[in-house]
């Protein structure tokens, strides 16, 4: 019945010129079918009547729709052309050319304009139809699926997308996807960059410091959690290993006061704080906290447990103590005295392995979380802050990556991009971050980052090396 709208010209072709046997020619009808134009129109009317009868709308809405279709200048012309035929100049007119690609599926019946089995809605009724499509505040895909069953007009898909993305109720409940991982830069030498954090275990509070180069951990028990106590223990760590160039911490009150600022200025190190509500930006310290907690929970002697961790080789084959001190630590395990002689690891080789490992971790994270870069925000843009459930205005970009300073009614806050949802239509240009692609080499299972090469060692192991870029 859907093919009844087409007119065919039947031509005979001999069997020897057919590459594939024609099934219909091998089993002809016993009685030839002669359908007149009147019978064809009657069958078509039956098909259209069945569609109109099963429309899930009331009769009053049908009458209103018919009146609006007649009063709408564009829809009225489209209905006339569906009856009388489509002239060639219609595809050039601005108002009619949107209907031109679908002219073969447009029909008129009882004053209604149909596209296949869907009602064509005039411009005066489209806003209300969009509101009804978005009842329940479903997403773009669900709203489009509802529209495909009942209504149509040119540009409907784009209007549904804009309506859902600009819906304030949907924005307030929306969650941003994970962004591509930004691995921290591997320091060139030990104790150059140190991360610090406070954690609680067994009703006690501890201070932790971890070296970004060697992953060597220092902990201290805090009897009071004030800034002066944290500074005292950090001075003790610095007296053992030296003053780092960069100290990473969260935004706790122990680190955000003027006392700690004066301490950083007096000792000559740069203090960087992670973005509030986003501990991932201080991930090295957060991961070290988990490791130390597991050690202290299970250990009968916490000092021996901490010593065992410092003397255990990492993935690179060297222990944190070897990275930091250039020698192995003597533990309760028996060991040859010659093994305790100081030996410096090959920093260049280890740095290369560390970079390869971090790129692989980044590729695995992005694939596992289906990470996509979020659009950047501009000063003055209205955003919804998800953790405080309040609308605010972006003031400026923060010095740390993907962080913004946002003005709220209760004051100014700093938030990561993942906590901010634009209240206006999103910018489709993503932020300037590396995008990962799947590797072309099938033997390498993780996705290989852009600007990298897959290289095989003599043993056959696949590794990833960064390309040399011409900047």
**What pLDDT score does 49 carry?**
59
H helix or E strand, kind and range, residue 429: none
DSSP, collapsed to helix, strand or coil, labels residue 394 as strand
**What pLDDT score does 21 carry?**
59
The 8-class DSSP code of residue 375 comes to B
What is the C-alpha separation between 281 and 289, in angstroms, rounded? 14
DSSP, collapsed to helix, strand or coil, labels residue 38 as helix
DSSP 291-358: HHHHHHHH-SSHHHHHHHHHHS--TTS--HHHHHHSSPPP-SS---GGGGS-----HHHHHHHHHHHH
Give this prediction's pTM. 0.62
CB 288 within 8 A of CB 208: yes
Closest among 331, 323, 417, 327 to 377, alpha carbons compared: 417
Helices (H) and strands (E) in the chain, counts: 15, 16
Task: Report residues of the chain scoring pLDDT below 50.
Answer: 426-451, 454, 456, 458-460, 462, 464, 466-471
Closest among 164, 165, 86, 76 to 123, alpha carbons compared: 76
DSSP 48-81: HHHHHHT-SS-HHHHHHHHHHHHH-HHHHHHHHH
Please provide residue 463's backbone torsions phi and psi, each rounded to the nearest 5 degrees: -130, 160
Residues forming beta bridges with residue 397, ordered by sequence position: 404
**What pLDDT score does 425 carry?**
54
Residues contacting 141, CB < 8 A, separation 6+ = none
């Amino acid at each position: 019945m859907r093919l009844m709208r087409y007119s065919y010209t039947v031509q005979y072709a001999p069997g020897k010129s057919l590459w594939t046997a024609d099934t219909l020619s091998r089993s002809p009808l016993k009685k030839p079918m002669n359908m007149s134009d009147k019978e064809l129109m009657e069958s078509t009317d039956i098909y259209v009547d069945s569609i109109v009868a099963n429309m899930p709308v009331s009769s009053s809405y049908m009458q209103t729709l018919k009146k609006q279709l007649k009063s709408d200048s564009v829809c009225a012309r489209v209905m006339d052309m569906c009856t009388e035929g489509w002239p060639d100049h219609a595809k050039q007119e601005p108002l009619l050319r949107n209907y031109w690609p679908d002219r073969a599926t447009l029909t008129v019946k009882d004053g209604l304009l149909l596209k296949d089995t869907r009602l064509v809605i005039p411009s005066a009724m489209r806003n209300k139809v969009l509101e009804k499509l978005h009842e329940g505040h479903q997403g773009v895909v669900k709203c489009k699926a509802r529209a495909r069953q009942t209504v149509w007009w040119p540009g409907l898909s784009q209007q549904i997308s804009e309506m859902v993305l600009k819906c304030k109720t949907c924005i307030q409940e929306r969650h941003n996807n994970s962004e591509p991982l930004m691995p921290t830069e591997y320091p060139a030498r030990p104790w150059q960059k140190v991360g610090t954090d406070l954690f609680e275990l067994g009703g006690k509070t501890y201070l932790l410091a971890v070296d970004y180069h060697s992953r060597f951990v220092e902990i201290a028990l805090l009897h009071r959690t004030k800034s002066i106590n944290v500074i005292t223990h950090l001075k003790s760590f610095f007296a053992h290993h030296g003053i780092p160039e960069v100290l990473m911490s969260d935004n706790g009150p122990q680190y955000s006061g003027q006392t700690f600022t004066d301490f950083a200025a007096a000792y000559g190190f740069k203090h960087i704080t992670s973005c509030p509500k986003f501990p991932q930006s201080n991930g090295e310290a957060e991961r070290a906290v988990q490791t130390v907690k597991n050690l202290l929970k299970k250990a009968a002697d916490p000092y021996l447990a901490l010593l065992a961790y410092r003397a255990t080789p990492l993935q690179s084959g060297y222990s944190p103590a070897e990275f930091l001190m250039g020698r192995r630590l003597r533990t309760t395990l028996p060991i040859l005295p010659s093994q305790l002689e100081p030996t410096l690891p090959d920093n260049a080789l280890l740095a290369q392995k560390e970079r390869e490992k971090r790129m692989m971790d980044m590729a695995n994270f992005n694939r596992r979380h289906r990470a996509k870069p979020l659009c950047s925000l501009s000063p003055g843009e209205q955003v919804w802050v998800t953790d405080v459930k309040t609308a605010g205005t972006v003031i400026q970009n923060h010095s740390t990556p993907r962080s913004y300073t946002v003005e709220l009614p209760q004051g100014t806050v700093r938030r990561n991009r993942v906590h901010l949802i634009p209240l206006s239509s999103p910018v489709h240009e993503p932020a300037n971050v590396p995008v990962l692609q799947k590797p072309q080499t099938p033997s390498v299972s993780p996705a290989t980052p852009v600007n990298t090469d897959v290289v095989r060692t003599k043993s056959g192991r696949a590794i990833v090396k960064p390309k040399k870029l011409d900047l």
